[in-house]
Amino acid sequence: LIYCYRKPKTKRAKRFLEKREPKLKENTKNAMLIKGGNANLTVTDVLKDIYAVKKPFAVLYKKKNITRPFEDQTSLEFFSKKSDCSLFMFGSHNKKRPNNLIIGRMFDYHVLDMIELGIEKFVSLKDVKNSKCPEGTKPMLIFAGDMFDVNEEYRRLKSLLIDFFRGPSVPNIRLAGLEYVLHFTAVDGKIYMRSYKVLLKKSGCKIPRIELEEMGPSLDLVMRRTHLASDDHYKQSLKQPKALKPKKKKNISHDVFGTTYGRIHMQKQDLAKLQTRKMKGLRKRPAEKSAEDGGVSPKKSKSS
Amino acid sequence: MAAVRVEEVLSAAEEQEAEKRRSVVVEKELELEFDLGNLLALDRNPPPAAALRGAGPRREALLRALARDNTQLLVAQLWELPAERAGGAGGPLVARLPEPTFRLPREKPPPRPRPPTRWEQFARLKGIRPRKKTSLVWDEQAKEWRRRWGYKRAGGDPARAWLAEVPANADPEEDQFARLRREKRERVARNELNRLRNLARAHRAGTTVPAAPLHPTGHQSREELGHVARVARVSTASLGRFQPRLPKESAEPPSRSGGRKRRFEPLLGNLAAERSRQLEMLRDMGSKKPVLDITRAVNKQLRQEEAEAAAAKGKKKQSQRGKRGRRQQRVGRSGKKSG
């Protein structure tokens, strides 16, 4: 809207454009799930399950799109611009790369990071005959394994997965509603993704005991190719505007015991003219007042 | 006696099992890192690789145990947060989440603060603050509250005004209705012009970032690219003389003044010319009428006309092409766009 070639003519169009323009506090990232020209059943099922997990912040494209993300990114960027999605997942299958899944994200409608993963084993939502949690639940994310810190590509993958599955950013959560957990383990060059439904059981103390029930999609992944953004490009995308930084409140300090201290700066006060509480008994009597005045008549007589 | 002891042992074992089932304590080598704003937990402990290499069900059980432990720790952290009952006493227990600490890249670059428009500058100078207007206005004629503008506005539809008074100082032959229509058109055009001027000012102010490098995501303009290419060429030890070049690029490195040369008169030489120049300058300074440099004025006018013609041509082309034209410009690259 800031630099529109043509002004929107209706309020609805204006709201549409305002939703898509860059903002201080951004919208939840949408994901687009695309099938490649040669997607097979496994890959299609994976995309459908991820769509179920990420609803309503995902778009599942029904038709196959014949593109190769690693060679040409213009098609993906066009889709991202049209549907305002900054995360994407592209599934394909061929002899050289069977059951391929490319997961990536965009910055300013241009591809930032892309990581290609191979699906070795997949258990779908409908294969696991347990109760599911409601759609749109914010999942808890757990990453296990030292590979996620040591290896640079795994670190970017971790950041990508958090971005992908994070869901909307909320200020409060209902503690009883923590039902869904996604657990990623990096072991032996493989990444195991498991989803569990959380059951909170009674325990002796306030904190409940957790029991997990297998639910939802579980994937065994292998990292294949990567297309990561250069360091300065990545740093630029991380930059947050200064207005979002929490403002430091000056003149407030806390001590070890949790007491809050504040400093007030006062102007110089004339203690003689200080307004204190009026004590009726201590008020000056008229006789005393006249004695102080030194004989100057308090009342003026009327001159005729 | 043996029976009693066996019973005791069994009950003790059962109690221990129950305790373990209800315990919320988890032992870990390295502490986990938590980002409660994102409901995130990071476990740095190396998982038992040998055990996980095994067959299916055993691996699943191990993964589930690991997940259970980690989830227990995360939930313990979440329960430590300050919680309150939302919606009164009977409502659900709601915890207040802190800000997320894990740095994730943004979706779009942060918005640039736009410079204030001419009106905003003036208002700030004078201290004028926006006054809140009521959405409905009392219409005396219709005796009801009507909206301020739009459909069924107070004061009637201006297009259907059947009376236009001739003001005292106007030509009696002039068509008042035409005058009103013309003035409205002029007002609309002036408004649009000012809006575009404000936009252009904001855009210009936004792009004059001095030593910033080229934007990496492909939003460079042609001039910017040319400028940066020129600077890059000259930034070598030999000032661009031995750089590999394109077939049609010139062998000379681009000069800093960009092709313009300034010539100066020699310092000592023609005394008479210098004297006449100084006297002329004094005369111009002292004269009451402003001096007009014909050449400069004509050049300025020509340049302005050229710029206007170029702008008009550009606008005409854009409006002619319309939506189809703009779309056609993009289709060339990738073939079918389905989805």
A211-252 pLDDT tens trace: 999 988 999 999 999 999 988 889 999 988 887 777 778 888
What angle separates helix A152-165 from helix A41-54, to the nearest 10 degrees?
60
The domain that contains A61 carries what CATH number? 3.40.50.10480
Q: Is residue A216 part of a domain?
A: yes
Residue A145 is assigned to a structural domain of this protein? yes
B299: closest CA of chain A, how far (Å): 31
In eight-state DSSP terms, residue A303 is: P
Do B157 and B147 meet the contact criterion of CB atoms below 8 Å apart?
A: no
Contact criterion met (CB < 8 Å) for A107 and B108: yes
Task: Give residue A70's pLDDT band: very low, low, confident or very high (50, 70, 90).
Answer: very high
* 125-144 in chain B: CB under 8 A from chain A: none
Pairing verdict, β A190-201 and A218-227? antiparallel
Report the pLDDT value the prediction gives residue B338, as an integer from 0 to 100: 46
Q: Do B64 and A196 touch (CB under 8 A)?
A: yes
pLDDT digits (tens, 9 = 90+) for A118-171: 999 999 998 888 888 888 889 999 999 988 999 999 999 999 999 999 989 999
Q: Is residue A61 part of a domain?
A: yes
> Is the confidence metric ipTM above 0.90 for this complex?
no
Residue A106 has pLDDT above 90, yes or no: yes
Query: What is the residue-averaged pLDDT of chain A?
Result: 87
Residue A86 lies in a domain: yes
DSSP state of A251: T
Q: Extract the tokens encoding B140.
A: 């005396």
Q: Whats the size of chain A, residue-wise?
A: 304
Three-class DSSP category at A45: helix
> Which residues of chain B are within 8 Å of residue A139 when distances are taken between CB atoms?
39
In total, the C-beta contacts within 8 angstroms joining chain A to chain B are: 224
Residue in A closest to B203 by C-alpha: A3
Give the integer Cα–Cα distance in Å for B153 and B146.
6
Of B45, B52, B97, the CB nearest to A170: B97
**pLDDT score of B211:** 43
Residue of chain B with shortest Cα separation from A59: B339
Range of the domain at A128: 26-234
Q: Is residue A160 part of a domain?
A: yes
pLDDT score of B238: 86
- Residue written as token pair 């005791």: B8
Is B217 close to A110, i.e. CB distance below 8 A? yes
Chain B residues with CB under 8 Å of A66 CB are 336
Q: Does residue A262 lie within any of the structural domains?
A: no
> What is the block-wise mean pLDDT of chain B (339 residues), using blocks of 10 residues?
80 83 80 91 87 81 91 91 81 87 91 86 92 90 89 84 86 88 94 87 69 56 79 85 83 73 83 91 86 86 88 79 56 45
Is A274 within a domain?
A: no
List the alpha helices (DSSP H) in A175-253: 231-238
At B58, the amino acid letter reads R
Q: What is the pLDDT of residue B228?
A: 81
CB contact under 8 Å between A241 and B110, yes or no, is yes
Tally of structural domains, chain A: 1
Q: Does the beta-carbon distance from A198 to B75 stay under 8 Å? A: yes
Question: Which B residues, 298 through 337, put their C-beta within 8 Å of a C-beta on chain A?
Answer: 330, 333-334, 336-337
A258: in domain:
no
DSSP conformational letter for A191: E
In this prediction, residue B215 carries a pLDDT of 57
